[in-house]
């Protein structure tokens, strides 16, 4: 089990949040990923943001630490960050990125992201179990998109499809 990070990067007015569309399983997500050995969660958040978006960011605050019900990760550290420099770019991990209104997030989006977006807008710090983070809930949300289920299963078997 590993620890991971997610990063909410807002526009200057703090009305829109930056999301990336993954290449392997094409869903919209916050930039983020696994914390590498020797990294702090903050360092990982900065690195992952640059790798996935092209933006160099600085951490504004820690939004929370979340524990999923399943074993996808040990903890997910969620940060708010602001853009310092850079230009938007897609990468080998992302096929698209864009700023979205926090009350009109794109589909498909992992189930806990709506709750996490609300947390990002508040000024509180959260430490909690994510209620919508089981494999069953994830698959149930994807039943309308069997192509995404197939891509997810292939990814778990080590077969990565980048489109």
Map out the domains of the chain as residue ranges: 4-156
**Residue with the larger pLDDT of the pair 156 and 32:** 32
Read off the pTM. 0.80
| pLDDT for the residue 137 | 58
pLDDT tens digits for range 115-129: 888 999 999 999 988
* Backbone dihedral region for residue 5 (phi beyond 0: left; psi -120 to 50: alpha; all else: beta): beta
pLDDT at 163 over 90: no
- Computed over every residue of the chain, the mean pLDDT equals 85
CATH of domain 4-156: 3.90.79.10
């Amino acid at each position: 089990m590993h620890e991971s990070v997610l990063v909410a990067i807002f526009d200057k007015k703090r009305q829109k949040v930056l999301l990336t569309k993954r290449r392997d399983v094409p869903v919209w997500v916050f930039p983020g990923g696994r914390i590498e050995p020797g990294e702090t969660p903050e360092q990982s958040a900065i690195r992952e943001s640059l790798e996935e978006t092209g933006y160099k960011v600085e951490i504004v605050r820690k939004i929370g630490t979340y524990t999923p019900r399943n074993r996808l990760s040990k903890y997910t550290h969620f940060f708010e960050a602001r853009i310092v420099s850079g230009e938007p770019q897609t990468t080998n991990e992302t096929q698209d990125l864009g700023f979205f209104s926090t009350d009109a997030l794109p589909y498909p989006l992992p189930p806990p992201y709506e709750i996490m977006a609300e947390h990002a807008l508040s000024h509180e710090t959260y430490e909690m179990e994510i209620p919508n983070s089981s494999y069953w809930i994830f698959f149930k949300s994807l039943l309308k998109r069997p192509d995404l289920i197939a891509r997810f299963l292939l990814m778990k078997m080590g077969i990565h499809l980048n489109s």
